[in-house]
Structure 1
Amino acid sequence: MAFGLSVSRQRLARRLLHVSPPLSLAALYFVFTVLGALSFKLPGATLVPMTWSEAFFTATSAVTVTGLSVVDPVGAFTMFGEAVLMVLIQLGGLGLMTFAVLVLAALRVPVGLTGQIYLREELNQSSLHRLMRLVKRIFQVVLICELLGAALLAVSFVPMLGLGRGLWVALFHSVSAFNNAGFSTFSSGLEPFAGDPVVNVVIPLLFIVGGIGYVVIDDIARLRRWSRFSLHTKIMLTGSAALILWGWGAFAALEWHNPETLGQFDSPWLRIMVAWFQGVTPRTAGFNTVDVAGMHDSTALMVISLMLIGGGPTSTAGGIKVTTFVVMCLATVAFFQRRTQLNAFGRSIGLPEVLKVMALTAISVVLVFIGVFILSATQEGHFLDVCFEVASAFGTVGLSRGFTGELTEPGRVVIMAIMFIGRVGPLTLGYFLATRSVPRVRFPEGRIHLG
């Protein structure tokens, strides 16, 4: 019997080794989505039976930690259904970074050279031993942050909902916030808590920590000094701080007198607090304390830009990532200064990284454009709402101007595809970019006219 199990394990290992890591991880997401949809169809999961379209859309949104929903969370799920939703969010938020490594380690499957390149690119590590150490660090951070967040949120939710329900809702929102999912058990999101200081501090801190990236957290925990941080960590911390301040200040300036958003609050301090929450939530978190549909068009465009940028690599966030955006800006500045080398914090950034940034940005822009085109051709609605929905789906954010509920069946399929590609696609492209190939033939340079 033991010999038979050993042979079966070896056969499984050989099969896994012949499957590329991107295909395996995409399949993992798809499996989670199917299992989630099947779970939502169980009699005890929902208060009102879900259609297959609603079940698959909700499962896709949860696994990709997006937060877009075609059903009202209050009248849709039982506590079991909410538990299924929370588990899918947790699996989706951590799947690509941890579960693949854990499965390979449990099966004693060697990662191989291409797999090591992929994992090194994603987790910034050079060996499987260090990867396992980072996985342990991830679970420590997740456990501490989510339990501490739930305990703090209970201060606001328990007096309103009672002890049992309040603790459960606090845990659900803590998991949803840390994984940048944006799902809420309240019909109007977190609008009833717009003036609650606990919610306005705890929720943003959870999704900022979850979205900054586990490599950055590991650097901070181990090195503890700015001078010893890696270039990646310095760029992430600086870029994230700049984007947070920009989003906060821009939202406050654009919406200060808007009676549908900040203008409804009399206190300037309350407006500043709400602007803080809404200024940082587009970074793939997806929560709202004001009506998103009530924003000015200029604010909506600003939010779209933040949704497309997203959070950090090896995090629960989506988007093209902060490091990609920063390197793209540095490359642009270097071009206008006629410099042939990129420098940041006393370190140089090589040409392969710049080419990867260009490829990731170009592919992302094309995917978003295609999504907007298809949705505009198949859906009736305001063009800005369509753009906002597609950007939210691609960045796995979850904010919506009320367009999600108006989606037809073809429209739901388009948004599900964009959510899936937004979560898996850029990382898959990163794998192929990380796999180097040496050209056998070298051609003479030619001249082309640009600009």
Structure 2
Amino acid sequence: MPKKMRLFSLTPPQILVLGFAAIILCGAVLLTLPIASADGRGTPFVDALFTSTSATCVTGLVVVDTSLHYSIFGQLVIITLIQVGGLGFMSMATLIFFLTGKRISLKERLLLQEALNHGSMEGIVRLFRKVIVYSLTIEGVAALIFAIRWSFDMPVGQAIYYGIFHAISFFNNAGFDLFGRITGTPFTSLTGYAGDFVVNFVAMALIVLGGLGFVVLAEVRDYPKCRKLSLHSKVVLSMTAFLIVAGALVIFIFEYSNPRTMGPLPLHAKILSALFQSVTPRTAGANTLDIGGMRQATQFFTIILMFIGASPGSTGGGIKTTTFTTLVGAMVAMIRGKEDIVLFRHRLGQNRILKAITMTMIALVLVVFVSMVLSTTEPHQFLMILFETTSAFGTVGLTMGLTPDLTTFGRIMIVLMMFAGRLGPLTLAYALQPKPEKDLYRFPEGKITIG
């Protein structure tokens, strides 16, 4: 009875942290089994833990090639972890409740609200139903298109399997791929399809839809009927579109003549690859260009895109597009001498601004601290280390080639960064903080000079 009471007294953030940790450990144990590896020898626990964390946190960083190292069983474990991690373990638990006819309690509704990063508990069960329907529908359609396209390159059965695997991986912004077995070269991702319209557009559509957030998807789906979008959806859609277009333009200019990336490609493939490399830092992790071959300016620009990440309530990570918009709005308001941040004729509350600043500062401190630590343990260039750390925090999965060469300590640090990035810095902070006590008094206001 005391144990049950202690479990019940845990806050939603604490339960989410423990739940994700439990799933990661279970996945790691399964991936260490001999049946999970292609050679039947099993996988070292640290490598299995890294892969399990990367899959559950929908990141895509891997120390071994997924198709060459893992068996079909191991790949199925990975794709299951991706689906559970992308939707959130509470979403999967709620699905089980629905299938078994169990009633959703208030505590479980609070957990579901926290898992989906929803603003209120009102309509949370209806939103969950839409999450499941939208996810399965989008993944199913994309898997069919992929299967048809890849049936021209491989046997039909393999094409269907590849279609399902990559549809789930890309929609959940995981970035795991199986093309190492096709090319014979590990970690190739989609580099062989840089000029393929079907593969590029379907993959980009999956990444964008998965990164918008389920609340936005629900509102867009209902827009033809109600002709109304919330401020949240307007901000997410506009900022996502801006980042994709601006990012593609910058990457196109920087990499146009680079002989290691876009240089040898025809014009249409250059445009497609620029678009794809602008979309994939939304926390997808797939790539059609060699990241290590990019110019340093492009690599650093990609770090910025990865740090911003996807949108709240999505399968992606980063500080989120809404946080970035709030920070830009605060800067513009300060420069113009305005007291309020106004977006689409709506004023943002002070608590939203403080939350955005707090989220960004915690994320920045995490990335900088881990990058500094790894720069002392990993014999590589600092830009490569910063790229890897930001990719882990943003649950992106892009790499300049550092991941397989990480030391054991480096792999553990990246595991912790992926875990923190998937749950979010504030969720971890709320989970670790003691029970807050209400202040009985306020100190007098003071003034300091800023700037």
CA 1:37/1:119 → structure 2, altered by over 3 Å: closer, same or farther? closer
Which secondary structure state, in structure 1, belongs to the residue aligned with residue 114 of structure 2?
helix
Deviations 1:91-110 (A, max 9, x none): 11111662465578847543
1:223, CA displacement in angstroms? 3.4
Larger mean CA deviation between 435-444 and 144-153 belongs to 435-444
1:437, CA displacement in angstroms? 6.8
CA contact (8 A) 1:116 1:126 kept: no
1:325, CA displacement in angstroms? 0.3
Q: In structure 2, what is the equivalent of residue 449 of structure 1? A: 449
Q: In structure 2, what is the equivalent of residue 345 of structure 1? A: 344
Is 1:203 the equivalent of 2:203? yes
1:396 aligned partner, one-letter code: T
CA 1:355/1:237 → structure 2, altered by over 3 Å: closer, same or farther? same
The equivalent position to 2:131 in structure 1, one of 128, 138, 143, is 138
CA 1:139/1:108 → structure 2, altered by over 3 Å: closer, same or farther? closer
Task: Give the 5 Å matches for 1:228-239.
Answer: 228-239=228-239
CA contact (8 A) 1:124 1:215 kept: no
CA contact (8 A) 1:360 1:429 kept: no
Q: In structure 1, what is the equivalent of residue 118 of structure 2? A: 123
1:343, CA displacement in angstroms? 1.0
Q: In structure 1, what is the equivalent of residue 326 of structure 2? A: 327
1:119, CA displacement in angstroms? 3.4
1:328 aligned partner, one-letter code: L
Distance 2:154 2:112 in 1: 49
Which secondary structure state, in structure 1, belongs to the residue aligned with residue 35 of structure 2?
coil
Is 1:94 the equivalent of 2:93? no
Task: Give the 5 Å matches for 1:37-116.
Answer: 37-48=28-39, 49-95=42-88, 98-99=91-92, 106=102, 108-111=104-107, 115=110
1:279, CA displacement in angstroms? 1.5
Distance 2:263 2:152 in 1: 28
CA 1:398/1:116 → structure 2, altered by over 3 Å: closer, same or farther? closer
Task: Give the 5 Å matches for 1:211-230.
Answer: 211-224=211-224, 228-230=228-230
Among the aligned pairs, what percent are the same residue? Answer: 38
Q: In structure 2, what is the equivalent of residue 4 of structure 1? A: none
CA 1:408/1:116 → structure 2, altered by over 3 Å: closer, same or farther? closer
CA 1:86/1:200 → structure 2, altered by over 3 Å: closer, same or farther? same
Distance 2:207 2:133 in 1: 16
Distance 2:208 2:157 in 1: 28
TM-score normalised to the size of structure 1? 0.92
1:344 aligned partner, one-letter code: L
2:121 aligned partner, one-letter code: S
1:440, CA displacement in angstroms? 2.0
Larger mean CA deviation between 138-147 and 14-23 belongs to 14-23
Q: In structure 2, what is the equivalent of residue 311 of structure 1? A: 310
Deviations 1:202-251 (A, max 9, x none): 00100100110000011112233796211000000001000010111111
CA 1:116/1:197 → structure 2, altered by over 3 Å: closer, same or farther? closer
Distance 1:313 1:33 in 2: 22
2:323 aligned partner, one-letter code: T
1:38, CA displacement in angstroms? 1.1
1:276, CA displacement in angstroms? 1.1
Q: In structure 1, what is the equivalent of residue 167 of structure 2? A: 174
1:309, CA displacement in angstroms? 0.4
CA 1:159/1:277 → structure 2, altered by over 3 Å: closer, same or farther? same
Q: In structure 1, what is the equivalent of residue 261 of structure 2? A: 261
Distance 1:379 1:74 in 2: 27
CA contact (8 A) 2:389 2:414 kept: yes
CA 1:67/1:283 → structure 2, altered by over 3 Å: closer, same or farther? same
Q: In structure 1, what is the equivalent of residue 282 of structure 2? A: 283
Deviations 1:407-439 (A, max 9, x none): 011110111111111111325058579x99753
Larger mean CA deviation between 152-161 and 92-101 belongs to 92-101
Which secondary structure state, in structure 2, belongs to the residue aligned with residue 34 of structure 1?
helix
Larger mean CA deviation between 88-97 and 140-149 belongs to 88-97
Deviations 1:20-76 (A, max 9, x none): 111111111111111111111222211132111111111011010000000022321
Distance 1:393 1:444 in 2: 42
1:214 aligned partner, one-letter code: F
2:161 aligned partner, one-letter code: W
Q: Which runs of 4+ in 1 moved over 6 A?
A: none
CA contact (8 A) 1:356 1:430 kept: no
2:330 aligned partner, one-letter code: A
1:95 aligned partner, one-letter code: G
CA contact (8 A) 1:119 1:125 kept: no
Distance 1:45 1:107 in 2: 36
Distance 1:229 1:176 in 2: 28
The equivalent position to 1:18 in structure 2, one of 9, 12, 36, is 9
CA contact (8 A) 2:194 2:273 kept: yes
CA contact (8 A) 1:179 1:210 kept: yes
2:16 aligned partner, one-letter code: L
Larger mean CA deviation between 214-223 and 413-422 belongs to 214-223
CA 1:226/1:295 → structure 2, altered by over 3 Å: closer, same or farther? farther
1:155, CA displacement in angstroms? 2.3
Deviations 1:255-297 (A, max 9, x none): 00001111021x2122111111111111100101111100000
Which secondary structure state, in structure 2, belongs to the residue aligned with residue 122 of structure 1?
coil
CA 1:232/1:186 → structure 2, altered by over 3 Å: closer, same or farther? same
Q: In structure 2, what is the equivalent of residue 295 of structure 1? A: 294
CA contact (8 A) 1:177 1:207 kept: yes
Distance 1:147 1:23 in 2: 33
CA contact (8 A) 2:34 2:43 kept: no
CA 1:37/1:430 → structure 2, altered by over 3 Å: closer, same or farther? closer
Distance 1:302 1:70 in 2: 24
1:121, CA displacement in angstroms? 8.4
Q: In structure 2, what is the equivalent of residue 5 of structure 1? A: none
Number of positions where the alignment pairs a residue of Structure 1 with one of Structure 2: 437
CA contact (8 A) 2:88 2:115 kept: no
